[in-house]
Structure 1
């Protein structure tokens, strides 16, 4: 079974998630945006074996702690898609602008593309392209337990910003309605910020992507 714990990091309260297979105790961090010491302490306290860092996209609050953790643990950084490389190469500059010390540029050991799969212990997650917030954004879907890590694509009651470089509003809407909704209304998603929700709930009431807006 896949288990997870959400640990908000940085001044942006970004939902870094610790995922682990309860059969093997192998674990990954999704969107290790900062506070490396706290994240590594949590892994140690649970007796887990960190095997990788997975990134949904290249923004500093999602990726800025990854280089430190990679150097300290020798685990690979995987994702997002290569289209977000310019964001990952600009983390340190962005961190200076926002007054967030200690965040570092990072280049993944492996880029992800739509249709890839990722493994943690005995559990498999599917990689689904979801551009719009950033051009290389991906989400991570665990079909067996109907879970999805969606980064900043969609939130409870909201969607990701599209006013950043290479963001695009219509592309984001298409990603949500064409790539996320077909996964099923019962999928529980963990967003990059704020509380969890389900795709079904957002299809009913989200002011940006509810079904009634497209009829």
Structure 2
């Protein structure tokens, strides 16, 4: 268990994520006039719960004292323990409505329907039968019940972009930053930096802005919605909005706190522009999203990427394709079967 004092009544507790290279989620604890408020809560796992409770105890408080949980986005390493914290303390849970909609779908849809949807989606992206077969088999045999995050807690409150949250004695403003999820929010603590660093307060950035890695930008999944969304475009727009805040320090949900938010935003914008240019060059030959993912540059060769990560990689390839199409730089090739795309 690791805790860090960030000054000014803000701490973080490292809550482990089981079997994940990220290692842990940084759950931030903000002191308020009505007790501690958590920014995110960590993965729903016994070891994660033990780390959270031990971390709060090291800070001189308890789960039972928690006044509220502000969730940056619905992913299980952020939202997972929210419900258990609420059960132990009576705390409210706040989430952006776009991610609340995802939570409702997750709670009501049978796991097998999600597996069938994912298999169909991957097949339409050009995935080989060998990749979709395990999903279809799991759906046919009802083996989807062990997927993480199937019963996430429904929130009590909406996070309203641009408004201050109900944290007595603090000024914490919600900034809607879609991209990683449709309802991702950053939280701007509009208070002078405790160490006097120049800039406009501090930013709890969730997964939106991280010091050394880029968040996954895939697709917004809603089987009943036929709207063609542009998550990468949303993310790039959100990055620019965060870059203009001029914050003194960023407190992300992974890795470590850092200064220089505007410079990091510029790095990420340049990274994605470079990646879009590289993908556009690959599309001189028509490619399906799966074929494009096979040719993209990842942190390891495609043959070494594990099964689940390939699914994530294809979603990221498709998100980049959608953005190229929106910019008029790529177009689908007419024809039956998996849709291929070419440079425009």
TM value normalised by structure 2: 0.53
The residue number in structure 1 matching 2:333 is none
The residue number in structure 2 matching 1:50 is 66
Matched, 1:209 2:269: yes
Matched, 1:171 2:234: yes
**Distance change in 2, residues 1:118/1:72 (3 Å):** same
The residue number in structure 2 matching 1:85 is 100
Paired residues for 1:30-49 under 5 Å: 30-34=39-43, 35-48=48-61, 49=65
Question: What is the aligned counterpart of 2:15 among 8, 17, 42?
Answer: 8
**Distance change in 2, residues 1:210/1:142 (3 Å):** farther
Question: What is the aligned counterpart of 2:257 among 185, 196, 202?
Answer: 196
**Distance change in 2, residues 1:20/1:157 (3 Å):** closer
The residue number in structure 2 matching 1:71 is 87
Taking the aligned partners of 1:201 and 1:111, their CA distance within structure 2 comes to 31
- Per the TM alignment, residue 125 of structure 1 is displaced from its structure 2 partner at its CA by 0.7
The structure where strand makes up a greater share of residues is 1
SS of equivalent to 2:88: helix
The residue number in structure 2 matching 1:181 is 243
Aligned partners of 2:13 and 2:52 also within 8 Å:
no
**Distance change in 2, residues 1:74/1:64 (3 Å):** same
TM value normalised by structure 1: 0.81
- Specify every segment of 5 or more residues in structure 1 that has no aligned partner in the other structure, as ranges: none
- Specify every segment of 5 or more residues in structure 2 that has no aligned partner in the other structure, as ranges: 1-7, 115-142, 194-200, 222-229, 275-344
Higher-RCO chain (CA-CA 8 Å, sequence separation at least 6) = 1
Aligned partners of 2:26 and 2:254 also within 8 Å:
no
